[in-house]
Structure 1
């Protein structure tokens, strides 16, 4: 059945757009493109000016896109523009130890060859993913981009939601999606409460060049102050996400580049030869933030607006993309049936699908961080034995590999690489 026009459902009611998305980071544009491909009119409202959002500079961030996230990008026609800049992750090695002392003899080693689907995921730099999404948004006739505009008020009613912008403009939509990050104004204005806390840790983020090839292997080295992730990028480069106590991180970040590398080297090791910085250095404070609900009248939350987790497993963006895939499926299926996709009954389907998984991810990342980011002898012994057991059992190892690839659980169509 062809998609019915909005007027066929809400006779006499005028909407400026079907769906308003607040936030122009990565989740907002990805959601907009997926919905627009199904014939819905979408408007993105982004507080940042377009020139700033589309700046091609490297800000240090890279993402470990799980296999299912790659499938979603393929399904919405985005992967071809990104693939040449993506580095497949073929293996993951997880170790425990102290800086300068080398890793524990107990470790976990995950190889993509143990599953049939291919690489567990790909590493992609933020600058390449972001620019590809923005280019596609600009090219889409069904997506309107309102850059440099801030929503200051929202009012939901029985048939839709009205957004008031700081510029004085008003926008009427059938549904509003908050994709505006951990400090989500959308959630706050809807009265959605949050649970969360700071970890007292800061992530030091940079990219390094190294002499030897990484062979597509990602490394996670757990140390008492926090984990060090060494993630393969294209060519002989790796992304570094290095967690330290907030006080140590501030002191390290203040060092000159040469001194910064001197602190990093004993933690990094010499297995890739000599290292040097490949770009600027950044810091990001680490915290947990979990919304009590993912929906409110005429409101749905996706990504960090709903759940901001510790980067210990690199699953933040993947969880956001799974939100997008689930929400798109709920909206499009409801629209095809002639339902009001912004009504409470439709949004409840989205929440039921995603809330448990997101709460479980928040609990898992929080627990892993607490278990590994300490120097307690008993905790060290327990985690080393646990890693040894997992590494020795093929069935358990395969379960972890499939989890890293995003293959477990009830997958939305986009996550299976299927069209909506």
Structure 2
């Protein structure tokens, strides 16, 4: 019988497996992933990894492998304007670090992160099965019986669902969600530009939604471009020339000529919050527990916080001889993560509603607020610490760079 069966082979599922095996090598951990073998190598996206998550990946022994591909974000610039405005006034800048001289975040290609975590799983003896998925499961007093696609049956003390925001396992467990569709989609692509970005990330608040440029290696930037869903679909499916023309209107010419070097895709944006994170012998982590708007760039880091809290909960319970799949043990993880997730979900929801409009009184009020933050060092420092995910005394140890 397995100790922990993890459904989902993305960064959340893999980092949970590595965290468990690093801290408790005797645990029998398996990852099940429905994606075909090698599919992860085709992911052209990049993600913002906060300073606290970097510390965690360092403890897990994978950051040294990721670091050569990571581009530090040393400065964040926030503007508020219309796409056609000739001048975009800067209302807020963040220059700071995440402690110990670290940048408050890095941009990391998803392939580099997943590849390093897959390698760590292999080195630690985690079985990582591709091209299959959990079809159904039934929780019992001492184990959860899992049936895979194709009919194979497995038993585990705990099943963890890391199968994304549209989690089928969450639905199968009977866990309800709070959901809201923003009517927006996020266009994701990569551009190459003539001039160096110097580690600067920019977020332009436009009437249709935020347009974020995030620095990558070799004079490239990752874009997260929010548009109304119908406009996003038109842009993604439309002519290359039209796409680049609309892109330049939003990006500007400060970095010279732009060239789209990655595929372009649009992802629907909404708010999804699970009402419960756990059931007997079952837990949610990552996007299966929460899907938020990318306006704050914290989606991935919320997932890593889940991993750090769940791994610490499981390992400490195991050391005390407790049943790691019992509801009494898993409730600690839920209480640790649910409030923080709800707070971040509400925060991103409010920010998106506040900034994704062109109502003049609202624009005046929000620009005044941004300017006020820019002039108050203590408040500015607080937001930098939030962006860096700097751990407090009650946060999981991995986020402070301490082993479990």
Query: TM (normalized to structure 1)?
Result: 0.93
Structure 1 pair 106/386, CA: closer, same or farther in 2 (3 Å)?
farther
- Equivalence for 1:36: 21
Matches within 5 A, 1:324-363: 324-363=307-346
Deviates more, 1:145-154 or 1:371-380: 145-154
Structure 1 pair 193/294, CA: closer, same or farther in 2 (3 Å)?
same
Deviation, 1:84, is: 0.2
Gaps of at least 5 residues in structure 1 are 1-14
Q: Secondary structure at the match of 1:35?
A: helix
Q: Distance in 1 between matches of 2:204 and 2:63?
A: 30
Is 1:19 matched up with 2:7? no
| Residue of structure 2 aligned with 1:137, choices 99, 115, 121 | 121
Output one character per residue of 1:92-150: Cα deviation in whole Å (capped at 9) or x when no partner: 11111011314553511110159554210100011211222223223332x11222222
Q: Secondary structure at the match of 2:244?
A: helix
Q: Distance in 1 between matches of 2:102 and 2:253?
A: 29
Deviation, 1:342, is: 1.2
Q: Secondary structure at the match of 2:89?
A: coil
Matches within 5 A, 1:29-178: 29-37=14-22, 38-39=24-25, 40-53=27-40, 56-59=41-44, 61-102=45-86, 105=89, 107-112=91-96, 117-141=101-125, 143-178=126-161
Deviates more, 1:44-53 or 1:352-361: 44-53
Paired residues in the alignment total: 401
Pairwise CA RMSD of aligned residues? 1.4
- Equivalence for 1:258: 241
Q: Secondary structure at the match of 2:191?
A: strand
Q: Distance in 1 between matches of 2:64 and 2:202?
A: 27
- Equivalence for 2:286: 303
Q: Which runs of 4+ in 1 moved over 6 A?
A: none
Report if the CA contact (8 A) 1:104-1:384 is conserved: no
Output one character per residue of 1:198-235: Cα deviation in whole Å (capped at 9) or x when no partner: 11111111111111111101100000001000000012
Q: Distance in 1 between matches of 2:98 and 2:225?
A: 28
- Equivalence for 2:382: 399
- Equivalence for 1:267: 250
Q: Distance in 2 between matches of 1:152 and 1:288?
A: 26
Q: Distance in 1 between matches of 2:310 and 2:341?
A: 14
Query: TM (normalized to structure 2)?
Result: 0.96
Deviation, 1:82, is: 0.6
Deviates more, 1:249-258 or 1:300-309: 249-258
Output one character per residue of 1:280-321: Cα deviation in whole Å (capped at 9) or x when no partner: 111111111110000011111100000000111110010000
Is 1:190 matched up with 2:173? yes
Matches within 5 A, 1:382-393: 382-393=365-376
Is 1:241 matched up with 2:227? no
Q: Distance in 1 between matches of 2:364 and 2:98?
A: 28
Output one character per residue of 1:43-73: Cα deviation in whole Å (capped at 9) or x when no partner: 11111222323xx2343x2111000011111
Output one character per residue of 1:349-407: Cα deviation in whole Å (capped at 9) or x when no partner: 10111000000010001110000000111110111000000000000000000000001
Output one character per residue of 1:165-217: Cα deviation in whole Å (capped at 9) or x when no partner: 12111111111101001111221111101111211111111111111111101
